[in-house]
Amino acid sequence: MGTLRDLAPSRRDLLIGAAASAAVTGAPPLANAQAPATSAQGTVVQAPSVSKVSMTVNGMARELELDTRTTLLDALRERLQLPGTKKGCDHGQCGACTVIVGGRRINSCLTLAIMHEGDSITTIEGLGTPEKMHPMQAAFVKHDGYQCGYCTPGQICSAVAILKEIDSGIPSHASNDLTAQPQVTAAEIRERMSGNICRCGAYSNIVDAITEVSGRKA
């Protein structure tokens, strides 16, 4: 008498069976099947695959026609030729793709471009230029707040935004009193910047740069 393992179908047998079933029924494997969308009246609705989106990027009005699946990150890099915003993990875990939308920082890899119709977006290119740097950019240079530089655009965009968060009275997990005005301390900076990963480990210099721009001592 054979064992359970002997009686179980092999992976090859399963693949052959699935292919034969698809050949007979004309249906694709379930993993690749996509049910069409239907309206309230029961008619099939074909979702548009391309859509127009208008937004203001670094002070300039831009209009794009995009695949609806295009992320904001890819629209900025591939369509608007703004490569300063980096693609790191592409899963919202490293912060290299951070941009400022409507004054708030977001991970551009986690949002679709078509969701930002009418939004005002600032990338690292919009903060300053080598000839006229933003104070945060200058502070990063002064305090050596980068090494390889890959994460730096996202770090700087986040740094600019967190100071606005603090000025607006938005608390963080490091805030002792959630009802009090948060202060610029090393603990607050580290907590708020924790979503931006620096693989080179320049964290202490980044804190120094942000502290200097804030005008306060950590």
| pLDDT tens per residue across span 176-191 | 899 999 999 999 999 9
Average pLDDT over residues 23-41: 53
Q: State the burial class of residue 201 (Cβ atoms within 10 Å of its Cβ: 0-12, 13-18, 19+).
A: exposed
Amino acid 159: pLDDT? 98
Helix (H) or strand (E) holding 106: strand 104-107
117-174 pLDDT per residue, tens: 999 999 999 999 999 999 999 999 999 999 999 999 999 999 999 999 999 999 999 9
Judge whether residue 19 has pLDDT over 80. no
Dihedral sign, Cα of residue 51, residue 52, residue 55, residue 58:
positive
Give the pLDDT score at 11: 60
3-state secondary structure 116-154: HCCCEEECHHHHCCCCCCCHHHHHHHHCCCCCCCCCHHH
Please state, as a whole number, how many other Cβ atoms lie within 10 Å of the Cβ of residue 98. Answer: 30
Handedness of CA 64, 84, 155, 180 (dihedral sign): negative
Determine contact, residues 162/195, Cβ cutoff 8 Å: no
Domain boundaries, the chain: 49-127, 128-218
C-alpha angle 200-153-100 in degrees, rounded to nearest 5: 135
Q: Which of 179, 147, 145 is nearest to 160 (CA)?
A: 145
Query: What integer pLDDT is reported at residue 35 of this predicted model?
Result: 55
| Token code pair at residue 113 | 């471009």
Q: What confidence tens digit (pLDDT) does each residue in 53-109 have?
A: 999 999 999 999 999 999 999 999 999 999 999 999 999 999 999 999 999 999 999
pLDDT of residue 2: 53
Class of domain 49-127: alpha beta
Distance, C-alpha 86 to centroid of its chain: 9
Tell which CATH classification among 3.30.70.2860, 1.10.150.120, 2.60.40.10, 1.10.10.60 matches the domain 128-218: 1.10.150.120
> What DSSP designation does 194 have?
T
pLDDT band at residue 13, thresholds of 50, 70 and 90?
low
Q: Do 46 and 54 form a contact (C-beta atoms < 8 A)?
A: no
